[in-house]
């Protein structure tokens, strides 16, 4: 068993362990962290397949952005676990049926090929340069225009998000602390001299 095989089995074992822990851990934060580990090891396996662009984007996009957001939401939401577990046995049967269908479909689709045929050899890369370089070359030359347009769409998304959310709500009760500190006695209370009782001109009734 050479080093490559050894590391593949290591990664695969960690990946399966992490995936199982996503499902079985009772604490949603632990589940999210296990998912991060699963993504990380999957990225490792992709790296071994020389698909380094996929690996990098998996780590940058999923681990870096999506999972952080996930964790954030899970921590913010304060999910009541007992309420989520209600009706577990009611959902079990439909869930088993659906996953049974999934499994059969998978077996029909790929099972025969994997079980009875020798796995196809991984096609050798056309050039020795990495696929990040090749993708980048295509993206910045042939699809330059489309790439720029995608950037403009992102810019529009930023502008729109800010334009729609940055506003003063009418029902907001927040007060400016600066204004509060700079308040003086004169700005809050005005003493006016009023005529005494006898000086009243007309009867209010």
Contact set with another protein (CB under 8 A)? 141-146, 149-150, 152-153, 155-157, 159-160, 162-164, 167, 170
Q: Give least dist CB 126 to another protein, A.
A: 17
For 57, phi then psi, to 5°, come to -70, -30
Please, which residue, 158 or 191, has the CB nearer to another protein?
Answer: 158
Residue 119 DSSP code: P
Please, which residue, 170 or 201, has the CB nearer to another protein?
Answer: 170
Q: Record the tokens describing residue 154, joined without a space.
A: 């992102």
Q: Give least dist CB 94 to another protein, A.
A: 27
How far is Cα 73 from Cα 76, in angstroms, rounded to an integer?
Answer: 5
Contact 79, 40 (CB under 8 A): no
How far is Cα 98 from Cα 134, in angstroms, rounded to an integer?
Answer: 41
Please, which residue, 65 or 156, has the CB nearer to another protein?
Answer: 156
Buried b (16+ CB within 10 A) or exposed e, 97-117: eeeeeeeeeeeeeeeeeeeee
CA 53 to chain centre: 20
Q: Give least dist CB 152 to another protein, A.
A: 6
Contact 120, 110 (CB under 8 A): no
Please, which residue, 77 or 163, has the CB nearer to another protein?
Answer: 163
Q: Give least dist CB 162 to another protein, A.
A: 7
Please, which residue, 167 or 185, has the CB nearer to another protein?
Answer: 167
Q: Give least dist CB 107 to another protein, A.
A: 26
- Residue 23: CB atoms within 10 A of its CB come to 8
């Amino acid at each position: 068993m050479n080093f490559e095989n050894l590391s593949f089995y290591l990664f695969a074992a960690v990946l399966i362990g992490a995936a199982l822990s996503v499902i079985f851990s009772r604490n949603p934060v632990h589940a999210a962290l296990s998912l991060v580990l699963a993504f990380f090891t999957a990225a490792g396996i992709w790296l071994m397949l020389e698909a380094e662009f996929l690996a990098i984007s998996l780590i940058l996009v999923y681990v870096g952005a999506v999972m952080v957001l996930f964790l954030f939401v899970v921590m913010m939401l304060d999910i009541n676990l007992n309420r989520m577990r209600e009706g577990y046995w009611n959902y079990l049967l439909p869930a088993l049926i659906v996953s049974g269908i999934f499994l059969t479909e998978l077996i029909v689709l790929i099972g025969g090929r994997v079980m009875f045929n020798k796995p196809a050899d991984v096609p050798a890369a056309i050039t020795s340069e990495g696929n990040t370089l090749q993708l980048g070359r295509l993206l910045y030359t042939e699809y330059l225009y489309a790439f720029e347009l995608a950037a403009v769409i992102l810019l529009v998304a930023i502008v729109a998000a800010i334009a729609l959310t940055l506003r003063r709500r009418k029902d907001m009760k927040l007060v400016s602390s600066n204004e509060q500190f700079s308040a003086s006695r004169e700005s809050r209370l005005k003493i006016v001299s009023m005529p005494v009782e006898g000086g009243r001109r007309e009867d209010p009734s």
